[in-house]
Amino acid sequence: MEKQVATSIFESLSSGLRLDVFRLLVKKGPDGMVAGEIANALDVPPANLSFHLKALSQARLVTVEQEGRFQRYRANIPLMLDLIAYLTEECCSGSPDQCLELRTASKCSEEFLPLLSPTPAKATT
C-alpha cells in the first residue's frame, strides 16, 4: 500500500462522524445503506453527511452504487484489511517473539474476531 493511500484513509477516519459512518457500514456488511438511512441513523443534515461520504469514498473506504434515486454505500472491508497489514508489516523487523509478547499485552487477543484470523474462524481458545 502506498503511503498516501494510508494517510487518506486515516484522515477519513479521524472525524468522529466519518468514523461513525464507517463503523455503521462495517456492521451492515454487504447490504450497506443508502445515504438517507445513514443520515437518519446518525442524525446529521444530509448535505453535511454527503460531504463526509465524499471524503470516505475518495479515500475508497466506502463504495457507492446508484440504485434508482438512492445511493447505496458499503464499507470497503478488504481495503481496511490491507491497511492493517500495512500498519503492522515489518513489526519488530523479524523478531516474532517480540511481536508475540506485544500482542498478548492487548486485550483484543482473546475476544478476537474471526475476520482477522488467517484460518477460517477456528480460534484455539
Residue choice 20, 34, 35, 57 for contact with its own copies (CB under 8 A): 20
Instruction: Give 6-59 as a DSSP string.
Output: HHHHHHHHTSHHHHHHHHHHHHHGGG-EEHHHHHHHHT--HHHHHHHHHHHHHT
Q: How far is the CB of 47 from its own copies (least distance, A)?
A: 22
95 binds its own copies, rule: CB under 8 A: yes
Q: How far is the CB of 18 from DNA (least distance, A)?
A: 7
Q: Which stretch binds DNA (CB under 7 A): 33-41, 79-87, 88-96, 99-107?
A: 33-41
Q: Which amino acid is at 13?
A: L
Place of cell 479515500: 59
Nearest in space to 53 (alpha carbons), one of 36, 30, 67: 36
Residue 65, exposed/middle/buried by CB under 10 A (0-12, 13-18, 19+)? exposed
72 binds its own copies, rule: CB under 8 A: no
Choose between 5 and 35: whose C-beta lies nearer to its own copies: 5
10 binds DNA, rule: CB under 7 A: no
41 binds its own copies, rule: CB under 8 A: no
82 binds its own copies, rule: CB under 8 A: yes
